[in-house]
Amino acid sequence: MTGAFETPIAADIVFWLVSVLTVGAALLVVTLRDVFKAAVSLAVSFVGVAGLFFLLQAEFIGIVQILVYVGGVSILIAFAVMLIRDMAGGSLPVRKSQGVAAATVATLFFAAIVFTSYSADWNRIDQIDDPAAVAGLVGAYTEREVMVNGETVRVVEPADPSDPAAQPGVLIDSTGVVGTLLIREYLLPFQIIGLVLVASLIGGLMLMRTRSEEA
């Protein structure tokens, strides 16, 4: 099963294309004077990041990214730009000293992250040699129940290679796995995040409310 985790050349090409699109759009966001054009390129950058998620075999995160960011946050920002008259003339130009300082901090941060990520000795998925684990990760597996110390445990084992449904490929059903994770391991954070969302939306409404005596 060696090579099951290697990405095909075509995926590499698509990855670099999507990366260039995403980074280019992100650069436009921070350089364009026109705030509305910046908001549009922010939406393009969000779509690019969604593409990265699909390439990383995270379909569910990719779809959430499109729903929440492209469909929600971008629209919210576009509305803000349109409602605030002040923005019609564009953003004030960046002060030279401030721009240099910001670029320096950003470059140092970038250098630190890149140095760390290339020099660290990450645990690699290629190091997995257990055939059952490989089969589980590439989706070519079946589940079976076995008895361990009197308890029933569901285990994974490589599927019959002749079964066309069990060919190595995308991690099958990552959506279902993420759903199970959220309602088992992370149930409390999941509930709290809902509370945070409701609280922030109500807080936003309270901030926006015009009192009747003012209006």
Size of site (CB under 8 A) for other proteins: 98
CA–CA separation, 134 and 34 (whole Å): 50
Paired residues of 157 in beta bridges: 142
Task: Report if residue 66 touches other proteins, rule: CB under 8 A.
Answer: no
Using CA atoms in the order 102, 108, 113, 117, what is the torsion angle rounded to 10 degrees?
Answer: 150
Strand intervals (E) in 4-161? 141-148, 151-158
Residue among 169, 140, 146 nearest 57 (CA):
169
Task: Report if residue 166 touches other proteins, rule: CB under 8 A.
Answer: no
Task: Report if residue 17 touches other proteins, rule: CB under 8 A.
Answer: no
Q: Which is nearer to other proteins, 154 or 162 (CB)?
A: 154
From candidates 17, 27, 165, 170, binder to other proteins by CB under 8 A: 27
CA–CA separation, 33 and 130 (whole Å): 54
Paired residues of 146 in beta bridges: 153
Using CA atoms in the order 12, 17, 20, 22, what is the torsion angle rounded to 10 degrees?
Answer: -100
Task: Report if residue 51 touches other proteins, rule: CB under 8 A.
Answer: no
The least CB distance from residue 2 to other proteins, in Å, is: 15
Could you tell me if 65 and 50 are in contact, meaning their C-beta atoms sit under 8 angstroms apart? yes
Burial of 35 (0-12, 13-18, 19+ CB in 10 A): buried
Burial of 97 (0-12, 13-18, 19+ CB in 10 A): exposed
From candidates 66, 70, 137, 140, binder to other proteins by CB under 8 A: 137
Task: Report if residue 170 touches other proteins, rule: CB under 8 A.
Answer: no
Q: Which is nearer to other proteins, 96 or 162 (CB)?
A: 96
Task: Report if residue 152 touches other proteins, rule: CB under 8 A.
Answer: no
Q: Which of residues 92-131 bind other proteins (CB under 8 A)?
A: 92, 94-95, 98-99, 101-103, 105-107, 109-110, 113-114, 117-118, 122-125, 127-128, 130
The least CB distance from residue 164 to other proteins, in Å, is: 22
From candidates 146, 163, 165, 169, binder to other proteins by CB under 8 A: 146
The token pair that represents 64 in the structure block:
């959430």
Q: Which of residues 175-194 bind other proteins (CB under 8 A)?
A: 177-178, 180-182, 184-186, 189, 193
Task: Report if residue 23 touches other proteins, rule: CB under 8 A.
Answer: yes
Q: Which is nearer to other proteins, 126 or 163 (CB)?
A: 126
Task: Report if residue 10 touches other proteins, rule: CB under 8 A.
Answer: no
